Structure 1
Amino acid sequence: CCRSKPVCTRCSRFPRLCKYDMKFVPWANTTSKTIKHPIQSTVSSLPKQIIQPLSCHLVDDESRFYIHHFSTQTSILLFPLAPPSFRERLVSSALRAPSLLYALLAASCSHHARLACNSTSQKNVLRYTNIALTALQNALASQADRVELSDVASAIVLCTNDACNGNPSSFYTHLSGAKHLLQSLVDQEHTGNENSFVQWLAKWFATLDVCASASGSYRSVITNDSYPLLETLPRPRLAQPDDLCGYSLELMPLISRIGQLANQDPSLWSSPVILDEISQLEAYTGMFYEPDKPGSLADTDPITREEKMRNTNNAFASSALLHLYRRVYQFPKDHHMVRTAIQNILRAVENLTASSTTIVLLLWPIFSAGCETENAEERRSINMRMQHMESLGLGNFKQARAAMNSYWSSGTHLTWGQYLENHGSVFVLF
């Protein structure tokens, strides 16, 4: 491009963004005394990119690569149904908070290592994680009793990384810490645009907690079946499938409670009060399943976002019922209600194309259906789906698929939760 006269394509499209060593003044009304902000006026027309000034902590090409990879790859797989505004807010917040930045770098590095099958990158994952933990501790120590949005986000990202990397003990530690930080944040006054981001963090935390309570030996860190902030959302918003977790937020306390009952001594279930509660749980959970409408998926390729959310919601509702039937009612695998729940899960999964990233949300439903079915064709189909999920490089799909195949090979009559706990294979289905 000639420095004396802008003639390149970029200059002709975005003349106000051209920058030269010389003083270049874009055409403007010279009589106007209003100060122009040319960058702000053209931001909406720029291609998607991180437009905020890069953090001073992104000091090398490697860290800049990983934050770009998180923005364009990892975050989209983590939240396939979430609007771009949430992912953008997460990254922009990280550029101002070292603890969150390094937590995201650890998530991105771990994801990239699985995609590239590069075990040496695990050293970087550990390094980024340790820096994030130190930065979070320093931030909390310097802020006295005040909790910032970035502190909560950092704890939740670290917790997510532990789930994906198969670190159950540190996962539970970070989950408990995230709960206390989130509750402190909710107790503080937050207004304006921050409210929506706090709600996103609350939903993210609740999703992790539900996954923990549904994963076998873990228990929810919530003691009163009420998740911070979520109960304050409008009821219509709670009832419909959520675009972060993929299912109705009203299902969350139900799944969590079913998980709590499954971990109790069965002798306690003889109480009339508990029996009545179990019956109500079954009826209420079943209300969230929405059968396929005739022709709802016909000639729809790809299927709409609403259809994706309906199917993910159906998968989780059916998985909750399957959990109730097998772990609480203790029905055998060939019981007709168990078989119906499995078939409903598989139908919801089959309605999603194999290439859809939405499938990453369904590890618990697919794993549960796989462990509970003894049909060879269903097992083959589930194994193939989980193999594809594993290839996406996110979540502990590899560990889950290996555990599922081990459970099949054992021929045991134990539930999958009991079998995995006996063999020391404890992980979070996220």
Structure 2
Amino acid sequence: MPPPLPGSMDSMPKRHQYGFSTDSNTPTLPDANSPNTLSPTPYSPYSAMPLTPMSIGSEGNIMQTSSTPQNSAQSPPDLRRVSVQSLINDLPRKRSRPAGDEVGRGRQYPIADSAFTTYGYDLGLPDIDTPRNDDFSAIAIFSPQSNTMGFNDDTTYGSADPHGKDMAFESGGYYAKPVPIRISKSLEPLPSLLVENQMNLLYFHHFINHTARVLVNHDCERNPFREILPEMAVQDENIMNLLLAYSAAHRARMLNHPEPSNRIAVWVQDVFPKLREALNDDPNTVSDSTLAAVIMMASLEVISSGTFEVPVSWQSHLTMARQMIIQRGGPKGMGRHDRVAYFLSRWFAYLDVLGSLSGNKNDTPLGSFYWSSENASADEDFEIDCLMGFTTRCVGSLARVSELAKRCEPQRIDEEGNVREGWTPSPEIIEEAVELRHALEEGLLGRNIRKGCNHRSSTSSESEGAWDATEIYATNELFHWAGLIHLYRRVLGKPVMDHEVQQAVREIVGLLYKIRRGSTAEACLIFPMFAAGCDAQDEGQREKIIERLRSVEGFGLNHVPKISTLMKSVWDTGKPWESLVSGEFFG
């Protein structure tokens, strides 16, 4: 794994730390002795010490500004309040407009039609970070040429090919051509945070048009990260700030640029105080926006750890979100009748269940009974969810696997991190595991699986529809096979060379051929790839999985290299991954 780029989160010094105190009005977190609990927690009140962005001096050196009051003539500017123009006045010169500048030729941006407003183009240039970046000129203004992306080539969301490569500059990749910044008029009026800063607007569009695509297993016309979350963001400043931070971190990673840490610090500095305020205002009610912010912080911490000044793990964010959902009545109270609540329940379910399967020190997920589908219709029960990539019934099965694995772990793994020779589960565990195995195998048969995605655009070609269906079914099978590997190894205690374990490994490796390279599905298959990779004994199988993980690394997801490193450690040491894991997320 190459060393981090200068300025990336992995190489930047930690920013100024908060101090904390406790408050009885704040929702109670797990016991402080739990291995998964961080103390103190940012959801409790803390001393009023602002998170101050680092200043960049005239020599380009990074200087940590003091949080104590200073003479105003020496204090750095408050980046939340100064105008964009004042930030760029000290620049030696503005970046020149790209060739073909249309100013004075009649075309004026933004350009609006009945459905969208086009603001210009994103050329994939680096964000030099505040206060040095020329935010005023972040969006390129020029007329589409024959060798660039034309408006007629755009999809609803502005990308030339919704199923093309998600890499940055490869042939056919996202930034192989200038990306038109087109935003749906349904999101208007845009908040001043976007209207008054072109760089913010660029990041908002990047999230909708690109980051949102790698957060779902199947990117269709109803991708909630492209529809529902932006709608919430334009109405809620906390969610907007988190969305922009998410987008900036992802874009920098994807383009191999340093993260704009100063800019991100300004966006996230008020997130925890506002969450505490919302929780304290009405401790008996958890709004959609409050829950969304906590789930979003967990997701952001997974793909770009260290984004927040306060050192809070993704596990702790999920613990808080879990308590909020229980307070709201559990997932059953977040059904399809409420599109926002239903989206949040599915997003949380994916993080919660896969997170709980990512190590014995992580919390057990919401009880599998929360995810059971006894009251769901047959269509809902066997429908492959586009966000998660597997059926609603599979959610409950994976949650049950996690519960059983955590019950077995203390007896199965010894103090030195090795599997105890001759260990077998209790008869009660075996009985539950056999029942669970039948449920997972039934999901593999696909007799009742609902046929494909029903959100596909009518303009999609027949071949696109065929590929979509192939990937959807393959993704569902991959997660079922991965669940069986966890059940065989962690619950039933089968050895790595057991023929059923190796069959599951072969099935997963074979199904990868049905997943297009660069597709959104590939970005979300870390869980099955890791499950198969750890138990793969054939060098060809191992190389195939490592090669696909390298492909996913180009998506700008920071946690993927850690997964590859952990898997290689399993091969090198022969120890079970459960004794080597240290906070990785397998999803």
Shorter-chain-normalised TM-score: which range?
Answer: 0.7 to 0.9
219-228 vs 190-199, which deviates more? 190-199
Task: Tell me which residue corresponds to 1:154.
Answer: 293
Q: 2 CA distance for matches of 1:272 and 1:229?
A: 24
Task: Tell me which residue corresponds to 2:343.
Answer: 200
For residues 225-249 of structure 1, what are the alpha-carbon distances to aligned partners after superposition, in whole Å with 9 as ceiling and x for unaligned? 2337976543421222111100012
Q: 2 CA distance for matches of 1:17 and 1:63?
A: 18
**1:127 and 1:97, CA in 2 relative to 1: closer, same or farther beyond 3 A?**
same
Task: Tell me which residue corresponds to 2:192.
Answer: 56
Task: Tell me which residue corresponds to 2:500.
Answer: 337
Task: Tell me which residue corresponds to 1:266.
Answer: 411
**1:64 and 1:131, CA in 2 relative to 1: closer, same or farther beyond 3 A?**
farther
77-86 vs 306-315, which deviates more? 77-86
1:178 Cα deviation (Å)?
1.2
Residues 297 and 317, structure 2, Cα contact 8 Å, conserved in 1: yes
The alignment status of 1:278 with 2:423, answered yes or no, reads: no
**1:273 and 1:120, CA in 2 relative to 1: closer, same or farther beyond 3 A?**
closer
1:304 Cα deviation (Å)?
3.1
Q: 1 CA distance for matches of 2:302 and 2:204?
A: 20
In the TM superposition, what are the counterparts of 1:271-310 in structure 2 within 5 Å?
Answer: 271-290=426-445, 303-310=466-473
In the TM superposition, what are the counterparts of 1:164-179 in structure 2 within 5 Å?
Answer: 164-166=303-305, 170-179=313-322
Identity of aligned residues (%): 24
**1:273 and 1:90, CA in 2 relative to 1: closer, same or farther beyond 3 A?**
same
Structure 1 unaligned runs (5+)?
1-6, 19-44
In the TM superposition, what are the counterparts of 1:15-94 in structure 2 within 5 Å?
Answer: 49-51=183-185, 52-58=188-194, 59-85=196-222, 86=224, 87-94=226-233
For residues 163-187 of structure 1, what are the alpha-carbon distances to aligned partners after superposition, in whole Å with 9 as ceiling and x for unaligned? 2224695211111211222334457
Task: Tell me which residue corresponds to 1:119.
Answer: 258
Q: 1 CA distance for matches of 2:538 and 2:113?
A: 60
Aligned partner letter, 2:190? L
The alignment status of 1:313 with 2:468, answered yes or no, reads: no
Q: 2 CA distance for matches of 1:262 and 1:15?
A: 54
Aligned partner letter, 1:416? W
Q: 2 CA distance for matches of 1:9 and 1:124?
A: 29
Question: Secondary structure of 1:427's match?
Answer: coil
**1:142 and 1:339, CA in 2 relative to 1: closer, same or farther beyond 3 A?**
same
Structure 2 unaligned runs (5+)?
1-105, 118-155, 159-181, 413-422, 452-461
Question: Secondary structure of 1:49's match?
Answer: strand
Residues 149 and 185, structure 1, Cα contact 8 Å, conserved in 2: no
**1:84 and 1:302, CA in 2 relative to 1: closer, same or farther beyond 3 A?**
closer
Task: Tell me which residue corresponds to 1:373.
Answer: 536
Question: Secondary structure of 1:135's match?
Answer: helix
Aligned partner letter, 1:60? N
For residues 153-205 of structure 1, what are the alpha-carbon distances to aligned partners after superposition, in whole Å with 9 as ceiling and x for unaligned? 11111110112224695211111211222334457999999712211110110
> Out of 240, 259, 266, which is 1:101 matched to?
240
Residues 315 and 345, structure 1, Cα contact 8 Å, conserved in 2: yes
Structure 1 length-normalised TM: 0.79
> Out of 524, 541, 545, which is 1:361 matched to?
524
Q: 2 CA distance for matches of 1:344 and 1:193?
A: 33
Question: Secondary structure of 2:433's match?
Answer: helix
| Number of residue equivalences | 387
Q: 1 CA distance for matches of 2:157 and 2:496?
A: 55
280-289 vs 56-65, which deviates more? 56-65
Task: Tell me which residue corresponds to 1:347.
Answer: 510
Task: Tell me which residue corresponds to 2:163.
Answer: none
Structure 2 length-normalised TM: 0.59
Aligned partner letter, 2:498? H
Task: Tell me which residue corresponds to 1:27.
Answer: none
For residues 352-409 of structure 1, what are the alpha-carbon distances to aligned partners after superposition, in whole Å with 9 as ceiling and x for unaligned? 121222111110100111111021111111111000000011251121112222332x
Question: Secondary structure of 1:403's match?
Answer: helix
Residues 166 and 428, structure 1, Cα contact 8 Å, conserved in 2: no
Aligned partner letter, 1:415? P
Residues 81 and 244, structure 1, Cα contact 8 Å, conserved in 2: yes
Q: 2 CA distance for matches of 1:176 and 1:16?
A: 40
Q: 2 CA distance for matches of 1:277 and 1:249?
A: 20
Residues 202 and 229, structure 1, Cα contact 8 Å, conserved in 2: no
The alignment status of 1:417 with 2:417, answered yes or no, reads: no
**1:141 and 1:231, CA in 2 relative to 1: closer, same or farther beyond 3 A?**
farther
Aligned partner letter, 2:444? Y
Q: 1 CA distance for matches of 2:256 and 2:539?
A: 30
Question: Secondary structure of 2:295's match?
Answer: helix
In the TM superposition, what are the counterparts of 1:207-218 in structure 2 within 5 Å?
Answer: 207-218=350-361
Which structure features the higher share of helix residues? 1
Residues 206 and 227, structure 1, Cα contact 8 Å, conserved in 2: no
> Out of 245, 252, 261, which is 2:395 matched to?
252
| RMSD, aligned CA | 3.6
